[in-house]
Amino acid sequence: MRKDILRKDRKREHIAYYLKSKHGGNTLFDDVFIEHNSLPELNLLEINTNTEFLGKKIDYPIMINAITGGTEFAWEINKNLSKIASKYNIPMAVGSQTIALVDKESHKSFRIVRENIGNEGVVIANLNAHASIEDVKFAIDLLEADGIQIHLNPAQELVMREGDRNFKGILRNIENIVLNIEKPVIVKEVGFGISKDVALRLFDIGVKYIDISGKGGTNFIEIEDKRNEDMDFKDMYTWGIPTAFSLIQCRSISEELTLISSGGIKGSLEVFKSLVLGADMVGISGYILWNLIKGGYEKVDKYMNNLTYKLKVLMLLTGSKNIQDLKNVPYKVKGELKELLEG
């Protein structure tokens, strides 16, 4: 079978198996305690959720994270999600554009995102970490993207029957991309978390944007296991760094790092706690996709409307007038998260 056809099938299967997966694990956000303030002295109308990301003004520090592209079905998904991104003026990243390097027909499923979001909005390209400078330039140009995500997914590849087995030279390649590409380069995981050591190695070669994409949401070991009939990886379903732990660890490296919290973000508390723990942006993939498949554009719209309202409520209940104030809200850690941080 042609490689591009295989890749298209894989993308469809990822979505089907994502919906069947239990996508469990624990983000450990429940182990973060934030005190309620009964005397906030604020008016809900003056709560300001605006922020800046990749040089553009956006209305909320929430983004639709990488999911898909390539097929007719992906076009439909990207069309709906980019309409949501446009309505709420939030960033959106597309799924891996590897398919776009070899298949012209796939381009429209990616371009629809820029078409719907327009020039004022933030659109982010996506490729794997083996990508050449030419590939990165192509992926950015196709979307007139404001930046590119480079994904690190060794756990996923190793469980995937047809996946990569060699991960040598990747740090060098990322360094080369950062040095030669003018747009911001975001290095991201896909649901297993970025450790402090990995974040430090990335920061040392000039990476300024990291999406931690930790454990607790979409689980690609489980998804790929369901696709792989040769082997059984059930005993590895709990692998990964919980999102809350990964976020605190990476934040401790430098205030200069722009951090995106993702992996298992569903409700307003996870968004809010991410921002209190020091995230600059919060990414959601699986749960937005789930809403879309279950109830179409309207269900995602309702979800986003609730989520953004509740973020304002939580800001008010901690006396936070704007997104910057959230970074100064005190928090305590308990339970497993505390043990991990003290260990």
Candidates 14, 111, 114, 251; binder of ligand FNR (CB under 6 A) is 14
Alpha helices in 56-164 (DSSP H): 72-87, 98-102, 107-117, 133-143, 154-159
Cβ neighbours of residue 19 closer than 8 Å, sequence gap 6 or more: 290, 293
Q: Give yes or no for a contact between 153 and 190, defined as CB atoms under 8 angstroms apart.
A: yes
The residue behind tokens 């709560």 is 47
Confirm or reject binding of residue 96 to ligand FNR (CB under 6 A): yes
Nearest residue (CB) to ligand FNR, 255 versus 296: 296
* Phi, psi dihedral angles at 242 (to 5 degrees): -55, 140
The helix or strand, by DSSP H or E, that contains position 288, with its residue range, turns out to be helix 286-316
Candidates 25, 70, 95, 242; binder of ligand FNR (CB under 6 A) is 95
How many helices (H) and strands (E) are present in the chain, helices listed first? Answer: 14, 12
The string over 190-201, giving b where at least 16 C-beta atoms fall within 10 Å of a residue's C-beta and e elsewhere, is bbbbbbbebbee
Max CA-CA distance within the chain?
65
Candidates 218, 249, 261, 320; binder of ligand FNR (CB under 6 A) is 218
Candidates 34, 207, 284, 314; binder of ligand FNR (CB under 6 A) is 284
Nearest approach in angstroms of CB 282 to ligand FNR is 10
Q: Give yes or no for a contact between 174 and 152, defined as CB atoms under 8 angstroms apart.
A: no
Confirm or reject binding of residue 137 to ligand FNR (CB under 6 A): no
Distance (Å, rounded) from C-alpha 153 to C-alpha 167?
Answer: 10
Confirm or reject binding of residue 156 to ligand FNR (CB under 6 A): no
305 is in an annotated binding site: no
Please identify, among the stretches 61-69, 108-116, 130-138, 272-280, the one whose residues bind ligand FNR according to the rule CB under 6 A.
61-69
Nearest approach in angstroms of CB 239 to ligand FNR is 14
Confirm or reject binding of residue 149 to ligand FNR (CB under 6 A): yes
71 is in an annotated binding site: no
Size of the site for ligand FNR (CB under 6 A): 27
Which residues form the interface with ligand FNR (CB under 6 A)? 14-15, 18, 65-68, 95-96, 126, 149, 151, 188, 190-191, 213, 217-218, 262-265, 284-287, 289
